[in-house]
Amino acid sequence: MRLVSPLLRLAGKTFSILVLGCRTNLSEAEALASMLEERGAVFCREARGGTDIVIILTCSVTSAADAKARKFIRRARRQNKSAVIVACGCSVQHLPAEEASELGADILIGNRMKSALPDALYEWFASERDLGPALISRRDMSLGENAAWDELSLDRPRLRDRAFVKVQDGCGRRCSYCIVPSVRGAEVSRPAADIIREVSGIVESGCREAVLTGVHIGSYKSEYGGLGGLIERLSGIKGLMRLRMGSLEPFAVTGELLDALSRSGVFCPHLHLPLQSGDDETLARMRRGYDTDAFRRMLGRVRSALGGDVHISTDLIVGFPGETESAFARSLGFLEESGFGKIHVFPFSPREGTDAAKMSGRVDAAIIKERVRRAAELAGRLLSRYASGKVGSREEIFCESSRPGHTPGVSVVSGWTRHYLKVYALSRGQGFEGTEISVSPKSEIGGILFGEGISKEDFSEELIYCG
């Protein structure tokens, strides 16, 4: 058998990636794409019936997410009869091998094992047997104790315009509704030198914006201290124009971190701080580790460090066991007083394997539905209130899409402000993708900002265009 250089064992194989779940999954998908292209494989954006390999990053945060993972594996098999179907990540951690085969999966890659994918693929293609090998599984079922870092690296983003850079994995907390620690394992921080090297390489590749991701990034530790020390080093990378962070647990907002963010010239003033409930008794049953007073004080520290117009977004779980009408009313009241921008509202869904799933005091599904409607309505008003504060200001956006507008020589552009608000605007000229342009929002609808002269036609077609 002719020996092939290990680096080119996948030469010419086409692959596509489907990402379910969180930004950590997205950063891992981007890194997997890097690793496979490094081995000669070819990345394809579309997965419709054509690539040799289809990779699915799965999520297990709710039972619905698990069901979706199964649906995506089945669909990938149906649409790609002869492809190698690879299922990775959180839902795979507890997917029985037999069921995985029935769904159509060929390779299972668990958490902390994703760097094993290229070799698993090579083993698959190297096997001569007509029927192809049996299911290949690379999973560490005793993930709880495993604090090893899974070496993945990213050279440039392929799935998104900005680079999602994974800096941390796992979680040592035990919020009563959360399955994540059992599928992502113990907390581990990536060496700071690797992160700095990676972000420098990404900037050299032409990408100017990086988003730090992880399961509990607030627990990050390195020779430079906590997350603040890392942010300080990254902020010094020449050519990096924007630095953002994924979700940050409220109990991880330290003085060290706020100092570093306030001194950084590239950190974008948006923090996603999941509140989950505005009622102290509910927070206690959730085992969140803070009450509304502590959260209120933390918000005060954030605003004095980063300015009163910092965009603070959050998550709210509605209908947690034992949530009474008055407890829910307290949650709405706390949202109103806290000046949030974007609020993600989630109906409580019992997750097997969590303590909350065994709790008494279940709230009726119809009541949960009604409360979600009320919370979403308030969320819409609060986002509009926050975003309309930017009307008339001057905003820099990184242009993610640009297409000809109705007026010849004028483009309709869209992108995100530093405060993480979506903007649509007109700009004279064309080909603005990947550039930073300055716009002056003149109006706001539903938390989206619109520049001068954007007409209803541009708007509606633009939305259709962006999907």
**Site residues (CB under 6 A) for ligand SF4, limited to 172-211:** 173, 175, 178, 180-181
> Minimum distance between the CB of residue 59 and ligand SF4, rounded to whole angstroms?
13
Closest distance to ligand SF4 from the beta carbon of 365 (Å): 23
CA distances from 83 to 2, 116, 386, 457 (A): 24, 19, 47, 42
Residue from the set 65, 215, 306, 312 that interacts with ligand SF4 by CB under 6 A = 215
- Residue of 387, 402, 380 lying closest to 466 (CA atoms): 402
Minimal distance, residue 6 CB to ligand SF4, in Å = 36
Helices then strands, each counted (H, E), the chain? 13, 20
| Residue 59 to residues 19, 26, 120, 424, Cα–Cα distance (Å) | 9, 11, 21, 31
Is residue 444 a contact residue for ligand SF4 (CB under 6 A)? no
Position 451 contacts ligand SF4 (CB under 6 A): no
248 binds ligand SF4 (CB under 6 A): no
Enter the tokens of residue 460: 């509606």
Under the binding rule (CB under 6 A), the answer on residue 77 touching ligand SF4 is no
Orientation angle between helical segments 292-306 and 325-338, nearest 10 degrees: 10
Comparison of 60 and 115: residue with beta carbon closer to ligand SF4: 60
Q: Say how many residues touch ligand SF4, by CB under 6 A.
A: 9
Tokens 């000046």, located at residue: 339
CA 364 – CA 319 distance, rounded (Å): 8
Q: Which two tokens stand for residue 240?
A: 């990096």
**Per rule CB under 6 A, is residue 246 in the interface with ligand SF4?**
no
Minimum separation from the CB atom of position 215 to ligand SF4 (A): 5
Q: Which of 94, 49, 54 is nearest to 72 (CA)?
A: 54
For residues 249 to 268, the per-residue mask of contacts with ligand SF4, x marking binding by CB under 6 A and - elsewhere, is x-------------------
Establish if 59 lies at the interface with ligand SF4 (CB under 6 A). no
Q: Which residues of 188-213 are buried (b: 16+ CB within 10 A; e: fewer)?
A: bbbebeebbebbebbbeeebbbbbbb
Residue 283 binding ligand SF4, by CB under 6 A:
no
The footprint of ligand SF4 on residues 119-178 (CB under 6 A) is 171, 173, 175, 178
Q: Which residues bind ligand SF4 (CB under 6 A)?
A: 171, 173, 175, 178, 180-181, 215-216, 249
